[in-house]
Amino acid sequence: MNIKILKISVPIVAVAALAYLIFSPSRYVGYSPDQPIPFNHKIHAGDNKIDCKYCHTGVENSAHATVPPSSTCMNCHGAGNVAGNQEHVKWLKAQYDSNTPVSWVKVHDQPDFVYFNHSRHVQRGVDCSTCHGNMAEMVKVRQSKSLNMGFCVDCHRENNAPNDCSTCHR
């Protein structure tokens, strides 16, 4: 008798736990890993009004926004004119000079079974802050939106965007 209950209850509890982990709206909200250097979006995107697309060059024509290469940073910091005396800028320049890429930690990530195309959203006028929050106010990058399935489906419904499974799952 007890074995029958276990055979039924264990899979139900496991499915419920998995569903909670996948669809919980607060699972990743607030995620803010330490980065190799303290890159400050508030200074760059906020105070200096550098457009997201200047650094994240692939966002308009690629599925991925792309993490900027060090050469993009060196456009301003390379000659030492901009914040050249700060330790993290010196470290970045040393990385660039030695042709060593910076190992940034991804903050906004989707599971492998989700297909998200940045260019489709940008080309349709979706502002970066819709999904990423107000980056121009972030000293340290954090995930401010859940980016779970419900978040995306709600947005697609509100904007009359395709809502069938194959839109995001391939």
pLDDT by residue, tens only, the chain of 170 residues: 578 777 788 778 778 766 765 666 556 899 999 999 999 999 999 999 999 999 999 999 999 888 899 999 999 998 767 988 899 999 999 999 999 999 999 999 888 899 999 999 999 999 999 999 999 999 999 999 999 998 999 999 999 999 999 999 98
Q: What's the whole-model pTM score?
A: 0.79
Phi then psi dihedrals of residue 38, to 5 deg: -80, 80
The tokens for 68 are 């900027």
| 72 phi/psi in degrees, rounded to 5 | -65, -40
Residue ranges of domains in the chain: 1-65+106-165, 67-102
Dihedral of the CA atoms 75, 130, 117, 153 (nearest 10)?
Answer: 170
Q: Is 124 exposed, middle or buried (0-12, 13-18, 19+ CB in 10 A)?
A: exposed
Q: What is the DSSP letter of 59?
A: G
Which stretches within the chain are classed as H helix?
2-23, 41, 52-55, 70-77, 87-97, 118-123, 129-132, 149-158
Q: What are phi and psi of 87, to 5 degrees?
A: -60, -45
